[in-house]
Chain A
Amino acid sequence: MKRFIILILTITILLTGCWDKREINQLAFVQGLGIERGKDDMIHIIVEILKPGLLTTGGGGTGGTGGGSAAGKPYAVFQASGVDFAKAFANLNDELPRSLFMQYNEIIFLDEKFARSGIYQTLDFMTRNPEFRRTAYILVVTGGSLEELFNLKSENTLERYPYKEVMGLISNQANTASSYVSDLNEFIETLEIPKKAPITGRLVIVKKDGKATGIRLSGSAVFDNDKLIGFLEEQDTKAVATLMNKLKRSTLTLDKGLKGEKAHISLVVTKARTQIFPKIRDGDISFDIKVNVEAYLNEQETKYELTEPENLEKLQTMVSKKIKTAIEHALFILQKKYNADVVGFVDILYKRNPALWNKIEKDWDKIYPDVKFNVTVKSVIRRSGLSSKPIYPR
């Protein structure tokens, strides 16, 4: 009897299985999800769905595909509209022979106009739904429509489909830090801190004669809560990344020689460490920003020998000054132009003095543009590349 009961239990467990079973070849792999505002204020989604059979050319000739590289685009673009996301996705589902599979989608493209109108609804839908990755990057697309981006001609891309091209851009920009791309997680976490402004990457569609010919990850998009308010240029983005301790590697070009002559010297920043100390005196709030930078010489138009201590010293001072100017410029833009606290000074202040913060939170929007920042930059040049001296002396 006991065995019989165990048998019945086992069978019930096994028979209830399968309900969420999906064979891998019945899935529509979405790589690239674009969101824009359609007509009548509808949510319009546009997705890039891969065709696995066409992606894996060569190798095992599987049933169905005759193999062959000239079989066409390895993806298809689908679009659908709806009053909200759930409806739009339901409509999209009706157009597809396979079930949508969002887990491989690591980039969410936002149309600029849509981003300006607020993306709260997007975030709500995506955090509620387990199908979406919280690690998906958010990009604001400017300079063209999403449709142009998704239908980018393959002769203009290195990878086989636009999504992969963008994915490559994101991982490659770590070398220059010319953009700052946040993922859904970081974006939401930022929103959870009152008065802190999220930023994320900007993707520019490069056009020639009205046709999209390429894409470029350039600068970043600044949000006020969930609404896009403007963009930061590449230099400012670098500075912001430095302040947020997120700079891994970047380039820096000085447009003056050591003696003030007109020449270019390029360096690679390999390390930047920032410490921010809030200072509160008589209700006056200011921040001391200390930045330590390590860099190496990449190229110089002039022929200074960096083995000379005084030359090195001078170069370091110039680098420090350049970075200091860049940071101050970025802070100026954030304070005066956007009134957005991207770096998270509010958080630092709150951690230092919660009581004070609670008092001034209401007025922060008025206080922030006039907050003083004392930026001190200390830079160290570690190496001068493979050569320590100019190729030939002056």
Chain B
Amino acid sequence: MSHKLPDFQYIRQNYQYMTLVQDLEENIYIFQVLLEENSDIVFRKINIGDKKVKAYLIYVDGMADKSLITRNILEPVMIETRKLNKTVYTSDQFFNYIKDYFLTISEVDVKDKIGDVINDLLCGETVLLIDGIEKAIILSTKGWEGRNVAESTTESYVRGPKEAFVETLRINTSMLRRRIKHPDFVIENMKIGKYSKTDVSIAYIKSIAEDKVVQEVKKRLKKVQIDGVIDSGYLEEFIEDNPFSPFPQIAHSEKPDRVSAEILEGKVAILVDGSPFALTVPAIFAQFFQAGEDYYERYFLSSALRVLRIIAMLTALLFPSIYIAETTFHQEMIPTQLAISVAAQREGVPFPALLEALFMEVTFEILREAGIRLPMQVGQAVSIVGGLVIGQAAVQAGLVSPAMVIVVALTGIASFAIPAFNIAITFRLLRFIIMIAAGTLGFFGIIMVVMMILAHMASLESFGVPYLAPMAPSKTQELSDVLIRIPWWAKILRPRTIQRKNIVRQEDTRG
């Protein structure tokens, strides 16, 4: 060793700015200092060629594809190079020769900053360091065990593509690329997270997506200075417009078909490595009531289902409140026969209707929560016990009235009929507020809270698009994809609420 090696402290603090040196031992020393406690990093010492040039191969065990390393790096570099003539090369010539003639790896890069090299190494690439050369060859050998592409569990269709995103970003982007094979379809990459260095991809179609939205997405993502991004949910909270709103302002989906359809409308998708949920912006309220299947099933059925979902939404939000208001304040609004039967059922119920409803709703929410977290086999037991507890025992014990059981059950089922889980949660929460208002002020209270919610929704925006568009501000033409779904051949234009750059979706072939 010709000169004194830099000390630990110095290396650890300044490695980002250090470059590789000619001396292999020193380079390796630096890497070992930086990564010494890591058991999964492999330093493989090899000799290259007839002159036995010393070299090191460094990779992360488990993240790099070992068979690829053996077959396409070690074999050619260690064995084939023996046939080299005893020609004298300069270091640079030798380096390029190795890189261009022997490394049968598809992606090869050359870097000299230690920081960059370490980043790549930790992403699963293999680093080849050769003695006497102040550069490293980065060989793309990423390959780790991941979940296979499988059927979606959160958004299942009867008809339509079944595959869902997985945790590996590259596989996810490939699923999108497979659906949109146009050079204008852009997948941009960035890294977020000081420690996690998570790959985040922004996917959009250059010629359709609004430039401002794309810029805004990038701007907001760049501002994120977090130590790690484990799921796309982290980013959603960072980049949404109004973080204090109960309403989701960014949609997410597990299905590549749905995400690519949204990209085709001019939206921007954000995919995060490690998360099978892609975010799409801008999001509007109406889209949370659209299931992907709406567009694959025949339009009559889809339109009817849309109306049904809106009824379900109103039921999930208001039904218990209306029941409370009518039985405690506005009895004259119930048909007489029904009122008599409700009164008969409530005879002997010890609690006021509001308390009874809150009690039942909370019980229902507990059961649901328990059912979700438990393993499937136990979950079924919970639902049976819960059904018995709510449906039978509570009524027989005289704790609640049978009518209340019907109300709560219908409300619960209605909230499951909303396709987007995130907006269903919002309604579940708001339901309790409206119930309290109904229990204290009757219909007047319900109307007040609903007005407040509507005013809040009208004030929301998602990346420049009004949340309630196309209802408010109203765009009559686009309502054709809100309350109903018009057939595909009639969808001549793309929704102009999302973008105005390129609105013709298809040539009008109807003449």
Interface residue ranges, A against B (CB under 8 Å):
13-15, 17-18, 20-25, 27, 29, 31, 50, 52-53, 55-56, 60-65, 101, 103-104
Complex CA distance for A103 and B332, rounded to whole angstroms:
6
Within 8 A of A (CB), among B323-361: 327-329, 331-332, 334, 336, 339-349, 352-353
Complex CA distance for A52 and B439, rounded to whole angstroms:
23
- Residues in B with CB closer than 8 Å to A27 are 331, 343
Residue of A nearest to B336 (CB): A104
Contact B440 A25 (CB under 8 A): no
Instruction: Give the most central of A23, A55, A61: most B CB within 10 Å.
Output: A23
Smallest CB-CB A-B distances: 4 pairs: A63-B348, A63-B398, A17-B440, A103-B332
Contact B344 A62 (CB under 8 A): yes
The smallest C-beta distance from B242 to any residue of chain A, in angstroms, reads 16
Provide 26 A-B residue pairs closer than 8 Å at the C-beta atoms, listed in order of the A residue.
Answer: A17-B441, A18-B440, A21-B329, A22-B328, A23-B328, A23-B346, A23-B353, A24-B327, A24-B342, A24-B343, A24-B346, A24-B353, A27-B331, A27-B343, A29-B340, A50-B340, A52-B340, A52-B341, A55-B344, A56-B340, A56-B345, A60-B345, A60-B402, A62-B348, A104-B332, A104-B339
- Interface: B424 (CB within 8 A): no
Contact A55 B331 (CB under 8 A): no
- Residues in A with CB closer than 8 Å to B334 are 24
- Residues in A with CB closer than 8 Å to B398 are 62-64
- Residues in B with CB closer than 8 Å to A25 are 343, 346-347, 349
Complex CA distance for A15 and B440, rounded to whole angstroms:
8
- Interface: B302 (CB within 8 A): no
- Interface: B196 (CB within 8 A): no
Complex CA distance for A64 and B396, rounded to whole angstroms:
11
Contact A56 B344 (CB under 8 A): yes
The smallest C-beta distance from A206 to any residue of chain B, in angstroms, reads 27
- Interface: B27 (CB within 8 A): no
- From A21, A22, A53, A101, give the contact of B344 (CB < 8 A): A53
Q: Is the interface of B mostly helix, strand, loop or mixed?
A: helix
Kindly count the residue-residue contacts between A and B in the assembled complex, taking CB atoms under 8 Å apart: 93
Complex CA distance for A104 and B332, rounded to whole angstroms:
7
The smallest C-beta distance from A10 to any residue of chain B, in angstroms, reads 10
Contact A63 B347 (CB under 8 A): yes
Chain B interface size, as a band, is 20 to 34
- Interface: B214 (CB within 8 A): no
Complex CA distance for A60 and B401, rounded to whole angstroms:
9
Interface residue ranges, B against A (CB under 8 Å):
327-329, 331-332, 334, 336, 339-349, 352-353, 395-396, 398, 401-402, 436-437, 439-442, 445
Complex CA distance for A13 and B440, rounded to whole angstroms:
9
- Known contacts A23-B328, A24-B346, A25-B349, A14 near B441 by CB under 8 Å: yes
Complex CA distance for A104 and B220, rounded to whole angstroms:
60
- Known contacts A52-B340, A60-B345, A64-B348, A101 near B441 by CB under 8 Å: no
Contact A24 B440 (CB under 8 A): no
Complex CA distance for A104 and B335, rounded to whole angstroms:
9
Known contacts A20-B442, A21-B442, A63-B347, then 13 further A-B pairs from the complex at CB < 8 Å, ordered by chain A residue: A20-B329, A21-B328, A23-B328, A23-B352, A24-B353, A27-B343, A29-B339, A52-B347, A55-B344, A62-B347, A64-B398, A65-B347, A101-B331
- Residues in B with CB closer than 8 Å to A60 are 345, 395, 402
Complex CA distance for A52 and B345, rounded to whole angstroms:
8
Contact B340 A62 (CB under 8 A): no
Contact A56 B331 (CB under 8 A): no
- Residues in A with CB closer than 8 Å to B401 are 62
- Residues in A with CB closer than 8 Å to B442 are 17, 20-21
- Known contacts A20-B329, A23-B328, A25-B349, A13 near B340 by CB under 8 Å: no
Instruction: Give the most central of B344, B347, B440, B442: most A CB within 10 Å.
Output: B344
The smallest C-beta distance from A137 to any residue of chain B, in angstroms, reads 14
- Residues in A with CB closer than 8 Å to B445 are 17
Complex CA distance for A41 and B341, rounded to whole angstroms:
39
- From A24, A29, A103, give the contact of B328 (CB < 8 A): A24
Complex CA distance for A62 and B401, rounded to whole angstroms:
7
Contact A62 B345 (CB under 8 A): yes
Complex CA distance for A94 and B346, rounded to whole angstroms:
24
The smallest C-beta distance from A131 to any residue of chain B, in angstroms, reads 9
- Known contacts A13-B441, A52-B341, A22 near B347 by CB under 8 Å: no
Contact B402 A62 (CB under 8 A): yes
The smallest C-beta distance from A64 to any residue of chain B, in angstroms, reads 4
Contact A53 B347 (CB under 8 A): yes
- Residues in B with CB closer than 8 Å to A22 are 328-329, 331
